[in-house]
Amino acid sequence: MKKKMITIFMASMLAVTSLAGCTSSENEKSGESGAKKEGKSEEGDREITIWCWDTSDNGKKMNAGFTEATGIKVNMVAVESKDMTQKLQTTLASGGEMPDVAWLEATYRGKLLSLDIWEDITKDPYNFDTSQVLDYLIPLETSESGQYVGPECPSVAGMAYKRELAKEYLGTDDPQELEAMLSDWDSFIEKGKEVKEKSGGQVFMLSSIGAAGQMLMGQSTEPFVDGDKINLEASMKPIFEKLIEMKKAGIVDVLDFSSAEEGASYAGENDIFYPCANWSVEFTIKPNDKDGQGRWGFMLPPGGPFPWGGTVMGVPKAGKNKEAAAEYVKFMFGSEEGAILQRDCKGNFSPYKPVYEQTDFYSREDEYFAGQDVLQAIAQEVLPNIKGVREPSKYDQDINDAYNLALKTINASVDGSITADELITSMTDELLIKQPDLEK
């Protein structure tokens, strides 16, 4: 399969628009190489059921490539990410038929990983080789008890910017020059003050407090809960302090994160920078700025790149076809053939380390980014520079809800007079109500 067949890149395991490529002839080129014989059982074709939220044609094409290579059929059943935990638990309790593979989305992953329902696919008879998985992913895919549940397609982020605004207010639209100028958040805030003064308060460094928080949260690795003890003083307070500093400096717009108004701002002239995941280009920037060809740039943010999103593939203990399910996981996430299918059918990045040794495995110049090869930048600059991750926790969803309320409080504070200590107290009280087993 030739590199020129790379299409657009997008979120791991999100619904996608129609892409080209991934034909049966391509699968022949990508190394059927006897895998079909190995994957087929003596009694005929096997079939696995996957509970997922992307049952698009592109996912079907990708799975058809797997079936052609292995003889294992794939049945996709639509289950919303927010419903996955309850559906798995109720199905197991009622004696219903469990899936052979289930998707564990980042927001709900901590709770799902805490359930004692998964096979450790590194053990016999599955023997998945985690040494071939990108190192930073392993803690995100492992339960508190040390059980490795399954791999995922990396979902990582840098920062996108509007070239014209950057050049006008910061003096350059070159990504390397901007990275040197904005190497840390203190520099970012100081330059933001200059932009505010130069624009008469009409141009902001970021579109929302939530956008700033997304980057700061992703760059932090301190756990929110340590055992059964709330750890917000160490983990969340530095984030709040920096957000409040940005609010007081007046360098962040007042839009709500992920709102329609923030979406409309991508085509506007008031906000320069936005957090940008590998999926943001196709799902956020281009749809919201339809005439933005050549307008955008991509760079590493102050403090470095960070993980954003992701979906683990778990094999339930109660699944009927666990060995075939493990073959699917190993093929799709632990081989170059699987990486090619992921790339060309869905635009996904692979967790499989060896493909990143090929510097042009992910590569495509993008007209929206003035010909910048964002795909290659993510593969060669973002992924290798993820410094660390915050390990998943079964309390993550409740923490996320309390955090979002704190963001709204900061945003509503006209002069940034709210304090980090006040926000920590409020979050702690809310968590203790929802999770009385926790301690201050």
Per-10-residue mean pLDDT of the chain, 440 residues long, equals 35 35 36 38 71 94 96 97 95 96 94 95 97 96 93 96 98 98 98 98 97 97 94 97 96 95 97 96 94 97 95 96 97 97 94 96 96 96 92 93 95 85 96 94
Same domain, 76 and 204: no
- What end-to-end distance do the CA atoms of the chain give, in Å? 55
Give the pLDDT score at 20: 34
Single out the residue in 346, 362, 378 at which a domain terminates: 362
Same domain, 21 and 100: yes
Give the H/E segment covering residue 332: helix 322-333
Same domain, 288 and 163: yes
Give the pLDDT score at 1: 37
323 close to 72: Cβ distance less than 8 angstroms: no
Give the pLDDT score at 415: 74
Same domain, 113 and 230: no
Which residues touch 210 (CB under 8 Å, ≥6 apart)?
Answer: 256, 257, 258, 404, 407, 411
Overall domain count for the chain = 2
Give the pLDDT score at 145: 87
Same domain, 122 and 205: no
- In degrees and rounded to multiples of 5, residue 42 shows phi and psi of -65, -30
Same domain, 248 and 391: yes
Q: Is residue 380 part of a domain?
A: no
Which stretches does DSSP call E strand in 179-288?
A: 204-206, 225-226, 229-230, 271-277
The CATH number linked to 208 is: 3.40.190.10
Same domain, 81 and 188: no
Q: Is residue 161 part of a domain?
A: yes
Helix (H/G/I), strand (E/B), else coil: 395: coil
Give the pLDDT score at 32: 38
DSSP classification of residue 301: P
- Strand 156-162 with 296-299, pairing: antiparallel
Q: Is residue 381 part of a domain?
A: no
Q: Is residue 382 part of a domain?
A: no
Same domain, 333 and 184: no
Cite the DSSP H helix spans in 149-207. 163-170, 175-181, 185-199
Q: Is residue 374 part of a domain?
A: no
296 close to 369: Cβ distance less than 8 angstroms: yes
Same domain, 113 and 139: yes
Give the pLDDT score at 331: 98
Same domain, 188 and 322: no
Give the pLDDT score at 115: 93
Single out the residue in 362, 378, 395 at which a domain terminates: 362
Give the pLDDT score at 417: 82
Q: Is residue 234 part of a domain?
A: yes
Q: Is residue 371 part of a domain?
A: no
Q: Is residue 162 part of a domain?
A: yes
- The residue segments making up the domain with residue 278 are 156-307+387-434
Same domain, 278 and 416: yes
Same domain, 164 and 228: yes
